[in-house]
Amino acid sequence: MSHNSFGHLFRFTTWGESHGPALGVVVDGCPPGLEISEAEIQAYLDRRKPGTSKFVTQRREPDAVRVLSGVMPKPLVDETEPDDSTTLITTGTPISMMIENKDQRSKDYGEIRRQYRPGHADFAYDAKYGIRDYRGGGRSSARETAARVAAGAIARKVLEASFPMVKIRAAMVGMGTQSIDRTNWDWDEVNRNPFFMPDAQAVGRWETYLEEVRKAGSSVGALIEVQAQGIPAGLGAPVYGKLDQDIASALMSINAVKGVEIGNGMEAASLTGEENADEIRMGADGQPEFLSNNSGGVLGGISNGDTIVARFAVKPTSSILTERRSIDADGQEVDVRTKGRHDPCVGIRAVPIAEAMMACVLADHWLRHRGQVGW
């Protein structure tokens, strides 16, 4: 069962509501002996945290992570060595990480306590549970994704321990009406602009566009691409443990995601077999080389050694200032306008989340593969 857990051998469980005292994650199945520090995990959380630019929610959360279990200070090989107390080492037991909520403003949401915001989970939660933590969206809030990013930091360690060349990176490649020129793709640029976007020439245009959206109290959707390099051929499993199936599941589990593509994705529907299949030659390094990557690095549900490529669409947040028609918990028709803090483009913060989820899927499949096949 997996209401709030993800993965199998590398498995994590998240908990916490937007306006509760804290949120967190328990990572189970992590291999022992991996070195990690809270600072490394924090660095990933800082990329996702709110309030970093005017384009993301102004909620002020330090998102400071505490590692509560599953690690111990790295044992000193030599007792005379200076004690590096910040380096932790995993012990193979569950790693619990907690992030306290600091800037809840539940009052902002009093009005919508019994109203169903169009496009939000409010109505569906009430229909399911008969009760709903309306404060900040409760469990449906994107605050939960901080826990994913923390889990993803551990997953990267798992992968790096076996595949030192692994790189898992995401970037925004579309936002509302805006797109990029892929020939300008520069991974270094991704961390220089507020959009995690790889085309330096498009930044100004995107800023102008999103500023208008923001001022209008509106919102826009986004298209994000995530890539994993350095993953060997062989991860995944046939039929219901397909690597791309689990990537799709992981990405679709992120709030507001409505579509997921692997490789050429939806475009594959319009191609012929000649256009679509990636031809193979032997590379200079004696390894097979795919002459194109329509497959997105996955064939028959199993990685083929090429870069794993996935894309997903994030819908625009429904928290907008324009009044929208809706109903309340009594079945009365109402007009709803959301006044709380929110993101003009929630897709921006989905970039580090997508990296984390990709890392978790790959770490899980790596351990599963090693379990069954032995390398």
Restricted to residues 285-344, the positions that interact with a copy of itself (CB under 8 A) are 286, 288, 291, 294-296, 298-305, 313-320, 322, 324-327, 331, 333
Going by the DSSP 8-state scheme, the letter that residue 115 receives in this structure is B
**Phi then psi for 126, rounded to 5 degrees?**
-60, -40
Longest CA–CA span in the chain (Å) reads 73
Asked if residue 14 binds a copy of itself (CB under 8 A), the reply is yes
| Sole window of 35-43, 49-57, 163-171, 282-290 interacting with a copy of itself (rule: CB under 8 A) | 282-290
Q: Which is nearer to a copy of itself, 85 or 188 (CB)?
A: 85
Go through 65-90 and write b for each residue having 16 or more CB atoms within 10 A of its CB, e for each that does not.
bebeebbeebeeeeeeeeeeeeebeb
| Of 369, 364, 375, residue with least CA distance to 31 | 364
Q: Which is nearer to a copy of itself, 130 or 188 (CB)?
A: 130
Asked if residue 50 binds a copy of itself (CB under 8 A), the reply is no
Neighbour count for residue 272 (Cβ, 10 Å): 7
| Sole window of 51-59, 183-191, 196-204, 254-262 interacting with a copy of itself (rule: CB under 8 A) | 254-262
Chain Cα centroid distance, residue 100? 20
Asked if residue 202 binds a copy of itself (CB under 8 A), the reply is no
Q: Which is nearer to a copy of itself, 37 or 96 (CB)?
A: 96
Q: Which is nearer to a copy of itself, 186 or 212 (CB)?
A: 212
Q: Which is nearer to a copy of itself, 11 or 169 (CB)?
A: 11
Q: What is the CA radius of gyration of the chain?
A: 22
Could you give the string, one character per residue 102-131, with x where binding to a copy of itself holds by CB under 8 A and - elsewhere? --------------xxxxxx-xxx-xxxxx
Asked if residue 151 binds a copy of itself (CB under 8 A), the reply is no
Q: Which is nearer to a copy of itself, 188 or 298 (CB)?
A: 298
What is the spatial distance between Cα 303 and Cα 361, in angstroms, rounded to a whole number? 12
- Within 86-105, which residues bind a copy of itself (CB under 8 A)? 89, 91-96, 98
Q: Which is nearer to a copy of itself, 42 or 219 (CB)?
A: 219
Asked if residue 234 binds a copy of itself (CB under 8 A), the reply is yes
Q: Under rule CB under 8 A, how many of the chain's residues touch a copy of itself? A: 156
Asked if residue 350 binds a copy of itself (CB under 8 A), the reply is no
Asked if residue 163 binds a copy of itself (CB under 8 A), the reply is no
CA angle 333, 336, 337 (to 5 degrees): 170
Name the strands in the sheet holding 22-28, side by side, starting at the edge strand that comes first in the sequence.
5-6, 11-16, 22-28, 95-100, 65-67
Residue with tokens 């939806």: 266
Tell me the β-bridge partners of 289: 281
Start-to-end C-alpha separation, the chain: 28
Asked if residue 37 binds a copy of itself (CB under 8 A), the reply is no
